[in-house]
Amino acid sequence: MATIKITKHNFEQEVLKSKEPVLLDFWANWCGPCRMVSPIVDEIADEVHGAAKVGKINIDEESELAGAFKVMSIPTLMVIKEGKVTATSIGAKPKKDILKMLEA
């Protein structure tokens, strides 16, 4: 399953009310490390389909969400389960480390 574009309009439904854990990728077009992580996040979205959701938040378009989560550096990856942040990672990471975040 492809990643979901998360906006302030669908955040509550797609993330806070999700029955599955949600991996969020905070990114921007101008961010080199974000471009490195993006294909890995896309792969993970296909692999975890049904067990978790994967969403991307463009911080330039959704500055309110980035501010709400105090995102200061990108890429920032977060896992949210039952409305609570359970894992956070800043910077480019290998796929295995990102998958471990979903297990936490």
Catalytic residues: 31, 34
CB of 46 closer than 8 Å to CB of 1: yes
Rounded Cα distance, 67 and 40, in Å = 25
Q: Cα dihedral angle (34, 37, 39, 44), rounded to 10 degrees?
A: -130
Report the C-alpha gap between 63 and 101 in whole angstroms. Answer: 24
Question: Quick check: helix, strand or coil at residue 22?
Answer: strand
Q: How many CA atoms within 13 Å lie on the side-chain side of 49?
A: 9
